């Protein structure tokens, strides 16, 4: 009997983290052939995550170049993915989220009339420029996709409001929780793995709470990153916390962050961290200060207060549950929010929510099961 073929396509570190559990779950189904195609939209960071989960790509387009622009990346991905689709001839394509890789890969599949299935479907801010270009990307994928794997009930409601047939939606939970669960369990039982994940931060001051910072979104590059650094510097000067800031490789982020924060002794600037290091550090942190989408979800699993340096979020569930707060990039708002959590134990405790709105950590199995049913028809 000829096997159905699934081509899983992703290109960035966050996608790799969230798709790795899905690939592992699909490969348990021996009557399905699962291949992985990476675009290399992020290169080193992507490869590191694949190594952690022991996944070797079957196809690698390797589009990354210095100072890459959206137009050139899109063109390379469209041509590269089209060639692979014509060669591999999958029964279905599986993409994730809202990246340029996911949108353009979906477009390539559409042109060849190959069904597209979408993990982390239905997230919306309803503002096409926030986040940019991600909001446009995920809406566009939603218009192409046949199956929509919504992480939450709210995401399903967004899809239903856009007249997506309910039978084509599966509420699964978010696969990032699967990744955090798998990594956290390994950190607990694998001493070598845990030591490697923690060794970089053995010198942190045990008496000062840790604030983990991540900032890289495109809409924050035009001045937002300056404001974020201004706020961090002012809080650091109070001596009430130590900051760990893994600095994104985007030169526009690197330049600003190092210019404004490199001379502060209680601000540790590091290169991007390996995924186990991130989970280990998040576990040790008192507050998460971020403009990332994925960290909002990881914060829910780890029960860490999350301050989101954006004006909108396509992940409102954690905000609504009280575990996250939108603070934007106004320095005053960031400073007040961080100091409030540092100085008020009750406020901090209130943001350590017990119920995780993003699921139980077994979303990948639900996705694999629904895909096998889809392919059996």
Q: What is the pLDDT of residue 237?
A: 96
The one catalytic residue among 15, 60, 120, 170: 120
Query: Does residue 164 sit in the same domain as residue 18?
Result: yes
Task: Look up residue 132 and give its DSSP letter.
Answer: T
The one catalytic residue among 15, 33, 60, 134: 134
Inter-residue contact 315 to 327 (CB < 8 Å) = no
The one catalytic residue among 43, 96, 217, 248: 248
Q: What is the pLDDT of residue 337?
A: 98
Q: What are the angstrom distances between the C-alpha of 280 and each of 111, 216, 352?
A: 42, 21, 17
Query: Does residue 14 sit in the same domain as residue 152?
Result: yes
Inter-residue contact 146 to 121 (CB < 8 Å) = no
Query: Does a structural domain hold residue 268?
Result: yes
Reported confidence tier of residue 1, pLDDT bands at 50, 70, 90: low
**Tally of structural domains, the chain:** 2
Asked if 98 is an active-site residue, the reply is yes
* pLDDT digit string, tens, across residues 293-349: 889 999 999 999 999 999 888 889 999 999 999 999 999 999 999 999 999 999 999
* pLDDT digit string, tens, across residues 75-130: 999 999 999 999 999 999 999 999 999 999 999 999 999 999 999 999 999 999 88
Exposure string for 242-271, b = 16+ CB within 10 A, e = fewer: bbbbbbbeeeebeebbeebbeebebbbbee
Asked if 216 is an active-site residue, the reply is yes
Q: What is the pLDDT of residue 245?
A: 96
Asked if 218 is an active-site residue, the reply is yes
Q: What are the angstrom distances between the C-alpha of 164 and each of 108, 115, 117, 134, 170?
A: 21, 15, 13, 20, 12
Q: What is the pLDDT of residue 42?
A: 63
Query: Does a structural domain hold residue 30?
Result: yes
Task: Look up residue 313 and give its DSSP letter.
Answer: -
Q: What is the pLDDT of residue 169?
A: 98
Query: Does a structural domain hold residue 252?
Result: yes
Query: Does residue 211 sit in the same domain as residue 324?
Result: yes
Token pair listed for 150:
């919504």
Length of the chain: 377
pLDDT above 70: residue 268: yes
Q: Residue 366 belongs to what domain range? A: 4-174+360-376
Query: Does residue 26 sit in the same domain as residue 131?
Result: yes
> Residue 51 maps to which CATH number?
3.40.50.2000
Instruction: Find all residues with CB under 8 Å of 334, minimum gap 6, and list them.
Output: 227, 228, 231, 232, 235, 289, 307, 309, 327, 328
pLDDT above 90: residue 137: yes
The one catalytic residue among 15, 60, 98, 291: 98
Q: What are the angstrom distances between the C-alpha of 355 and each of 151, 300, 376?
A: 15, 8, 35
Reported confidence tier of residue 47, pLDDT bands at 50, 70, 90: confident
E strands in 57-160: 59-60, 92-96, 116-119, 147-150
- DSSP conformation letters of 242-265: EEEEEPPS-HHHHHHHHHHHTT-T
The span from the CA of 365 to the CA of 362, in Å, is 6
Query: Does residue 217 sit in the same domain as residue 156?
Result: no
The one catalytic residue among 27, 218, 286, 370: 218
For residues 258-270, give the mean pLDDT. 93
Q: What is the pLDDT of residue 41?
A: 66
* pLDDT digit string, tens, across residues 164-220: 999 999 999 999 999 999 999 999 999 999 999 998 888 888 899 999 999 887 776
For residues 132-143, give the mean pLDDT. 96
The one catalytic residue among 138, 139, 148, 216: 216
Asked if 120 is an active-site residue, the reply is yes
Query: Does a structural domain hold residue 183?
Result: no
Q: What is the pLDDT of residue 130?
A: 86
């Amino acid at each position: 009997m000829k096997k159905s073929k699934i081509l899983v396509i992703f290109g960035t570190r966050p996608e790799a983290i969230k798709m790795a559990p899905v690939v592992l779950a699909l490969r348990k189904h021996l009557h399905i052939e699962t291949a992985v195609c990476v675009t290399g939209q992020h290169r080193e960071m992507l490869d590191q995550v694949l190594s952690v989960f022991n996944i070797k790509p079957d196809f690698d387009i390797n589009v990354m170049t210095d100072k890459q622009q959206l137009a050139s990346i899109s063109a390379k991905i469209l041509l590269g993915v089209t060639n692979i689709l014509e060669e591999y001839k999958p029964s279905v394509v599986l993409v994730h989220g809202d990246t340029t890789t996911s949108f353009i890969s979906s477009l390539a599949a559409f042109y060849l009339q190959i069904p597209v299935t979408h993990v982390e479907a239905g997230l919306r801010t309803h503002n096409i420029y926030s986040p940019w270009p991600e909001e446009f990307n995920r809406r566009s994928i939603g218009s192409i996709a046949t199956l929509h794997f919504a992480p939450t009930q709210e995401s399903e409601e967004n899809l239903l409001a856009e007249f997506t047939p309910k039978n084509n939606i599966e509420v699964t939970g978010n696969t990032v929780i699967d990744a955090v669960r798998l990594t956290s369990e390994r950190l607990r039982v694998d001493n070598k793995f845990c030591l490697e994940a923690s060794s970089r931060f053995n010198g942190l001051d045990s008496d000062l709470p840790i604030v983990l910072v991540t900032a890289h979104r495109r809409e924050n590059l035009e001045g937002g990153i300056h404001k974020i650094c201004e706020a961090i510097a002012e809080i650091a000067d109070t001596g009430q916390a130590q900051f760990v800031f893994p600095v994104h490789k985007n030169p526009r982020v690197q330049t600003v962050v190092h210019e404004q924060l490199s001379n502060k002794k209680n601000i540790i600037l590091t290169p991007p961290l390996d995924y186990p290091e991130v989970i280990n550090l998040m576990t040790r942190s008192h507050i998460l200060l971020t403009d990332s989408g994925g960290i909002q979800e990881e914060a829910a699993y780890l029960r860490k207060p999350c301050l989101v340096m954006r004006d909108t979020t396509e992940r409102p569930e954690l905000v609504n549950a009280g575990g996250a707060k939108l603070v934007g990039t106004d320095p005053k708002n960031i400073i007040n929010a961080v100091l409030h959590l540092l100085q008020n134990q009750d406020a901090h405790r209130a943001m350590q929510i017990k119920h995780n709105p993003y699921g139980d950590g077994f979303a990948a199995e639900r996705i694999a099961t629904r895909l096998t049913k889809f392919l059996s028809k």
